[in-house]
Amino acid sequence: MKNIDNYHQTTINVLFLMFPLTLILGNLFTNLNVVIFCLYTLIAYNKNFKKFKINFFDKIILIFFSYIFITLLINFLESYINEEIFSQHIIKKTFFFFRYLVLYLVLRFLINQNILNLNQFSIACAICAVFICLDIFFQFYFGKDLFGIKPSSARHFSGVFGDELIAGGYLQKFALFTLFLPFIINQSFFYKISIQTIFFIIFIFGIILSGNRMPLILFFFSYFIYLLLDKKLKKYILPLLIFFFLFLSLNFSLNQTFKINAITFYKNGANLISTILAKNSSKEQPGIAQKPYVAEFVCARNAFKLNPFFGGGVRSYRTTGLNKGCTTHPHNYYFEIVVDLGLFGLSIILIFIFTLMYKILIKKVNRVQLNLNTLDSKMMPFFLIFITEFFPIRTTGSFFSTGNSTVIFIILAILVSLVSEKKSINF
């Protein structure tokens, strides 16, 4: 019996370690891994699930997915009453999205029962990030990566990702795990900082070569938050900021591609802010469709007005008649959630985010104060990914896409589990 349990535990951990790799291989492999991982766990430990007790955060997740189903029913009935054809795309995407509820609950159970090895998972994430970074360097120097893939453009080196320009986003998330590997954390303070700094600089160049601008900013932001939350490292914040501005200045002066990317990024941001602040901006304004991210915001706002409280349903943004000529999603999680799930759906997400942040960072004794002891090296990379993933002022992929949803619900399940281990969750 013990051998069988060890076999199940080993198999589940191997499947779990496959997630950072399947995110590189593509949606098909990621979806297969999600299904096999969840089914195997449910079959192997079906009798043990009664030992698992859901907590406050689990209830919010259950409410969120219940609300998604209610939104589907409301929109379906509205279409039926108005004698309109309801999109089969929304129905299909809604039901498929429930696989992430199963993934979240399975992960919560496995971590609660000490079946998953999170240290091994962190090492797997770090190895995959190092591989992607080296593959990008190889592609930059030799004109093709280790698998013979050529860059998609002169300013985008995506390595093994090919024409899918997501290498920078992958590095921005998973490179963080290299900073908290056991062999680094257990070094003396000087060697720890030295190794972390070397890795930090290597991955910065990898992200720059990928051509992804927002991941570069978020990677700097992640490291800044790390320094801010670590009591010993706070004094290095000023040197980091000086290094950051010197680094940007040198690249701006010497690297023409970086200069073009930076200027374009600034103009796109300025256009978006001016559009948001404008009182009478609309999709029909001259030239607005030609402005990157501005058109997405205007399309999202137009779609939001159709059903502001309940939204149009999962992935309804792309089926909205008003959004002809728009992209398939608004390139921002919050815009997409408020369009697809309405203000009520967005409220549920915000309650979860702020409550989890409060529980991680705040300690109540005689008075409310920061509790930085919760954020040890085991939790820190997951927390930094959580912060940057839900950072509101950023461009993103679709919240409901395979890659993003997989990362989001894995991170949420792990963070909730680690917080639960450190303190009881009572509200």
Q: What's the gap between Cα 161 and its chain centre?
A: 17
Residue 410 has pLDDT above 90, yes or no: yes
Task: Please give the helix or strand (H or E) that residue 300 lies within, else none.
Answer: helix 294-306
- Residue 298 is predicted with a pLDDT of 78
- Cβ within 8 Å of residue 147, ≥6 positions away: 160
Question: Worst-scoring range by mean pLDDT, 37-46, 327-336, 416-425?
Answer: 416-425
pLDDT band at 94 (very low <50, low <70, confident <90, very high): very high
* CA 161 – CA 167 distance, rounded (Å): 7
Give the pLDDT mean for 110-126.
94
Determine contact, residues 236/230, Cβ cutoff 8 Å.
Answer: no
- Higher-confidence position of 235 and 380: 380
Coil, helix or strand at residue 366: coil
Residue 145 has pLDDT above 50, yes or no: yes
Give the pTM: 0.89
Question: Worst-scoring range by mean pLDDT, 93-97, 220-224, 412-416?
Answer: 220-224
Query: Mean pLDDT across the chain, nearest whole number?
Result: 85
* CA 352 – CA 336 distance, rounded (Å): 17
Q: What's the gap between Cα 358 and its chain centre?
A: 19
Residue 284 has pLDDT above 50, yes or no: no
pLDDT band at 238 (very low <50, low <70, confident <90, very high): confident
Give the pLDDT mean for 217-231.
87
- Higher-confidence position of 94 and 364: 94
> Exposure of 244 by Cβ count < 10 A (0-12 exposed, 13-18 middle, 19+ buried)?
middle
* CA 168 – CA 299 distance, rounded (Å): 26
Pairing of strands 362-364, 368-370: antiparallel
Give the pLDDT mean for 179-201.
86
CA distances to 168, 218, 310 from 390, rounded to whole Å, are 17, 11, 21
- Residue 324 is predicted with a pLDDT of 59
Question: Worst-scoring range by mean pLDDT, 98-102, 330-334, 341-345?
Answer: 330-334
Query: In the numeric block, which tokens belong to residue 170?
Result: 């992958």
- Residue 154 is predicted with a pLDDT of 79
- Residue 385 is predicted with a pLDDT of 96
Residue 304 has pLDDT above 60, yes or no: yes
Give the pLDDT mean for 168-188.
91
Residue type at 6?
Answer: N
Determine contact, residues 421/114, Cβ cutoff 8 Å.
Answer: no
Neighbours of 219 (CB within 10 A): 26
* CA 390 – CA 396 distance, rounded (Å): 9
Residue 34 has pLDDT above 50, yes or no: yes
Q: Which residue has the tokens 């690249």?
A: 251
- Higher-confidence position of 229 and 356: 356
* CA 149 – CA 162 distance, rounded (Å): 6
Determine contact, residues 410/384, Cβ cutoff 8 Å.
Answer: no
* CA 419 – CA 373 distance, rounded (Å): 11
Instruction: Provide the 8-state DSSP code for 149.
Output: P
- Cβ within 8 Å of residue 309, ≥6 positions away: 342, 343, 344
- Residue 427 is predicted with a pLDDT of 40
- Per-residue model confidence as pLDDT tens digits over 75-93: 999 988 988 888 898 999 9
- Per-residue model confidence as pLDDT tens digits over 198-217: 999 899 999 989 988 889 88
- Per-residue model confidence as pLDDT tens digits over 241-272: 777 777 667 766 656 565 566 666 556 656 65
- Per-residue model confidence as pLDDT tens digits over 156-172: 899 999 999 899 999 99
- Residue 328 is predicted with a pLDDT of 75
pLDDT band at 323 (very low <50, low <70, confident <90, very high): low
Residue type at 44?
Answer: A
pLDDT band at 321 (very low <50, low <70, confident <90, very high): low
- Residue 316 is predicted with a pLDDT of 86
